[in-house]
C-alpha cells in the first residue's frame, strides 16, 4: 500500500557524465524527494533530438547519466528511473495534445525564441513543439508535483494550460493539472567565475573526475579580480571559490576563509587547495559507488528497463482513459 502523499516527476536531457551544477541543482533534490514522494525520473532522449547534431554518443550519454544518478543515491526500489523513448505512449500523447495547442502560443514563448537564437540553422518542428512533449512527459504519469526552480514556472504553467485545454475540449477530467513544487535551486557558477556551470562552456567539474582532475579544475578557478597580489586583501563575497567553500567545507573553515581572505591572511592558492581537498572528500563515497556500478553495466540497463516497464503500466492506463475521452475507435 502506497502511503506517500503524491507523485513527483522530473526529466533531464542526457548530457552524459554529470557535473557539480547538475548535482547541486537537481540530483541532490531528486534523492531527497524519493524518500517522501512516489518519484519518477526520466532521461529525456527524445527532447535531445531537437538540438543534437549527432546521436553517436546518445546511448552512452544515457548510460553515464543513469550511472551518476544511481551512484548519487537514486534508488530503483524507491523511484522509477527510465529513458523517455522506452515508453512510446509519450509520443502518442504528445500528438494528441498538439491538437489542442495553438501554434502562436508556442512561438510566443520566450524559451522558444531563445532556442531559435541558439539554433538558427535548425529551427525544426520538434523545437517548436518541445513544450508540448514536455507537457506529455508530465501528465502521462498523472503527476501531482514537478520540482522546479522559480525560473521554470512558465513551463509548468504551460502544461497546466494544456491540460485545461484538453479537458475542456473533450469535456473530461482524465488529465491531471500538475502543481509546482518550488525548490531551492542554487545557481552554480562555473570555474570561469562568470557563467552558470555547463559542459558546453567547459567550465564544469565532473562528479566522476579523479581527485587530481578535480584539484586541477579548482586551481584554475577565477577568484576576486581585484586581488592582484598575495598581500592584497580580498572580497570573498564576490569570489566563486568562497561560494563553493560554503557548500563543501565545514562552518569553521568557511568562517576562517571569510576572515583570512579579507585580511590577506590566506592566499588564493591555499584557499583553492583547501576547497579541492574538501570537495574530493565529499565526492569520495559517490566515486566509490560509481566505480563499483560501472563494473556491472548490464545492471544499469536492467534498472532502466525495469523502470520503463513500471512507467508503461501507468502510461497505458492514462492513454486508455485519454482515448476513451476523445472517442477514438
126-137 b/e with 16+ CB inside 10 Å = b?
bbbbbbbbbbbb
Residues with Cβ < 8 Å from 72, sequence gap 6 or more? 18, 23, 27, 28, 31, 207, 286
Contact between 165 and 100 under an 8 Å Cβ cutoff? The reply is yes
| Given 115, 142, 272, 273, the catalytic residue | 115
The yes-or-no answer on residue 199 being catalytic is yes
Task: Please check whether residue 187 is in contact with residue 221, taking contact to mean a CB–CB distance below 8 angstroms.
Answer: no
Strand order in the sheet with 179-182: 79-83, 38-43, 7-12, 145-148, 179-182
Separation CA 148–CA 156 (nearest Å): 9
The verdict on whether 273 is a catalytic residue reads no
Q: Count how many residues are written for the chain.
A: 329
Catalytic residue among 113, 187, 196, 309: 196
Q: Is 28 a catalytic residue?
A: no
Q: Please, is 66 exposed, middle or buried when counting C-beta atoms within 10 Å of its C-beta (0-12, 13-18, 19+)?
A: buried
Question: Which listed residue (105, 199, 246, 273) is catalytic?
Answer: 199
Separation of alpha carbons 190 and 192, rounded Å:
5
Say how many C-beta atoms besides its own lie within 10 A of residue 231's C-beta.
8
- Name the residue with cell 522546479: 148
Residue 41's DSSP bridge partners are: 10, 81
Q: Which residues are catalytic?
A: 115, 196, 199
Amino acid at each position: 500500500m502506497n502511503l506517500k502523499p503524491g507523485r513527483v516527476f522530473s526529466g533531464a536531457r542526457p548530457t552524459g557524465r554529470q557535473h557539480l551544477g547538475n548535482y547541486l541543482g537537481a540530483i541532490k533534490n531528486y534523492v531527497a524527494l524519493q524518500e517522501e514522494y512516489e518519484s519518477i525520473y526520466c532521461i529525456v532522449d527524445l527532447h535531445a533530438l531537437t538540438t543534437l547534431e549527432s546521436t553517436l554518443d546518445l546511448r552512452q550519454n544515457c548510460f553515464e547519466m543513469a550511472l551518476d544518478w544511481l551512484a548519487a543515491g537514486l534508488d530503483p526500489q524507491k523511484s522509477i528511473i527510465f529513458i523517455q523513448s522506452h515508453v512510446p505512449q509519450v509520443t502518442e500523447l504528445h500528438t494528441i495534445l498538439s491538437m489542442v495547442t495553438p501554434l502562436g502560443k508556442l512561438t510566443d514563448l520566450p524559451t522558444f525564441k531563445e532556442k531559435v537564437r541558439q539554433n538558427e540553422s535548425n529551427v525544426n518542428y520538434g523545437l517548436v513543439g518541445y513544450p508540448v512533449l514536455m507537457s506529455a512527459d508530465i501528465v502521462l504519469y498523472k503527476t501531482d508535483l514537478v520540482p522546479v526552480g522559480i525560473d521554470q514556472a512558465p513551463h509548468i504553467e504551460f502544461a497546466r494550460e494544456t491540460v485545461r485545454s484538453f479537458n475542456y475540449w473533450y469535456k473530461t477530467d482524465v488529465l491531471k493539472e500538475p502543481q509546482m513544487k518550488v525548490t531551492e535551486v542554487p545557481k552554480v557558477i562555473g570555474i570561469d567565475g562568470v557563467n552558470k556551470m555547463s559542459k558546453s562552456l567547459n567550465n564544469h567539474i565532473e562528479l566522476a573526475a579523479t581527485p587530481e582532475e578535480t584539484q586541477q579544475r579548482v586551481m584554475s578557478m577565477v577568484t576576486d579580480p581585484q586581488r592582484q597580489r598575495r598581500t592584497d586583501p580580498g572580497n570573498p563575497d564576490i569570489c566563486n571559490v568562497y561560494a563553493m567553500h560554503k557548500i563543501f567545507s565545514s562552518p569553521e573553515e568557511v568562517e576562517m576563509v571569510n576572515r583570512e581572505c579579507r585580511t590577506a591572511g590566506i592566499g588564493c592558492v591555499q584557499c583553492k587547495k583547501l576547497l579541492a581537498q574538501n570537495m574530493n572528500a565529499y565526492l569520495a563515497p559517490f566515486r566509490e559507488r560509481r566505480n563499483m556500478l560501472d563494473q556491472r553495466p548490464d545492471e544499469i540497463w536492467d534498472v532502466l528497463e525495469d523502470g520503463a516497464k513500471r512507467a508503461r503500466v501507468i502510461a497505458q492506463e492514462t492513454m486508455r482513459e485519454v482515448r476513451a475521452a476523445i472517442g477514438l475507435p
